Amino acid sequence: MLIDFNGLNISGLSCQTEFELTVKTFLEEWFSDSDTVKVQTSGSTGAPKVFDIPKQKMVNSAIMTCDYLKLQKGDIALGCLPVEYISGKMMIVRSIVRELKLMVVDPSTKPIEKFELPIDFCAMTPLQVENSLEKLYLIKNLIIGGAAVSESLKEAVLKSHRSEKNHIFETYGMSETLSHIGLRQLAPKSEDYFTIFENVDISKDERGCLKIFAPNLNDEILQTNDLVEIINEKQFKFLGRIDHVINSAGVKIFPEQLEALIKKNISNEVVFLGVNDQSLGQKLVLIIEGIYSEDIIEKIGSIEFEKKFHHPKEIIFIDQIPRTPNGKVNRIELSNQISQR
């Protein structure tokens, strides 16, 4: 389904799939008399919740992204994310605000598999990108969100990149910031830091965690559990989540940094967890998705970790790492599974 937001006629939209119907239903909600729409969180760090968001705040967010990427009226966008979550809703709102032409495709792991024509703008999850590498050249502006982009995927994106005119970014944000408040370029140039949008202020609390004040998006100062290094007033580097920090024998270990190192060497999904241990408090355990492999064990053994205590005390292979409905690793569920072994 192609929706031209320059002269939209909702009643004239013909829906062939359930997903197209959810898009139409959201459009009806958006153009209703209500000043708010309902948004559901992903549930990756806690129980999912639903809350009302002012439409004007979503418009403000859309303008930030469209301006940053220099999207123009009539540009072609691709909507391939579930509309239940803020990421899918915001693709529609951006199309409304900038009067884009939105191609609606049922969410899948290979959303552009059958595409041959160029796309000006698209948002995908890391898994969708991983399965679309051969056709990323079709997308002029691609933003990746919903989960962290692994080191192996960053390398694959750079390797598959063909044109300086095509830009690929990782997003930083959450439901409360209405998708994202900043982007980190992955191609054509790979950057270590996120650059935030206009009218967004960042700082750190006493723990070193990011605080966000974006009055155009949320009236409150948002306190995150994300440990960051602030480079300047417009840029920061993500270090890891404080609630993921593993305390082993009194030493704090940041699992995201170790996971990034591991993923430079193997392609499997990996997660570091702290498992209760009588002598250490928490034992550093590496979970690897896939069947047991001596080759993988050898590769991990050859990695030069910065500290001795970064070496996992135990390596566990499992068939599938649990994920939330929008693709994020569900560390809570994974921790429960491992503790019951």
Q: Average model confidence (pLDDT) for the chain?
A: 90
Structurally, how many domains does the chain consist of? Answer: 2
Whether residue 249 sits in one domain with residue 124: no
Is the domain of 233 the same as that of 254?
Answer: no
Per-residue pLDDT of 131-153, as tens digits, reads: 999 999 999 999 999 887 877 78
pLDDT at 238: 92
Task: Round to whole Å and give the CA distance between 142 and 161.
Answer: 12
Q: How confident is the model at residue 46 (pLDDT cuts 50, 70, 90)?
A: low
Return the pLDDT at 42. 58
Nearest residue to 313 via CA among 269, 267, 274:
274
Token pair for 278: 């009588």
Tell whether the model's pLDDT for residue 326 goes beyond 80. Answer: no
Question: Domain boundary residue among 223, 239, 255?
Answer: 239
The DSSP code sequence of 265-311 is T--S-EEEEEEEETTTEEEEEEEEESS--HHHHHHHHT---SSGGGS
Residues 202, 256 share a domain: no
Better-predicted residue by pLDDT, 275 or 340: 275
Residue ending a domain, choose from 239, 265, 298: 239
pLDDT score at 179: 86
- The pTM (predicted TM-score) of the whole model is 0.79
Q: Encode burial over 298-329: b for 16+ CB neighbours within 10 A, e otherwise.
A: eebeeeeeeeeebebeeebebeebbbbebbbb
CATH number at residue 87: 3.40.50.12780
Q: Which tens digit of pLDDT belongs to each residue from 228-242?
A: 999 999 999 998 888
pLDDT in tens, 148-160: 787 778 888 998 8
Domain CATH number, residue 322: 3.30.300.30
Domain with 106, as residue range(s), is 2-239
Q: Which of 208, 239, 270 delimits the end of a domain? A: 239
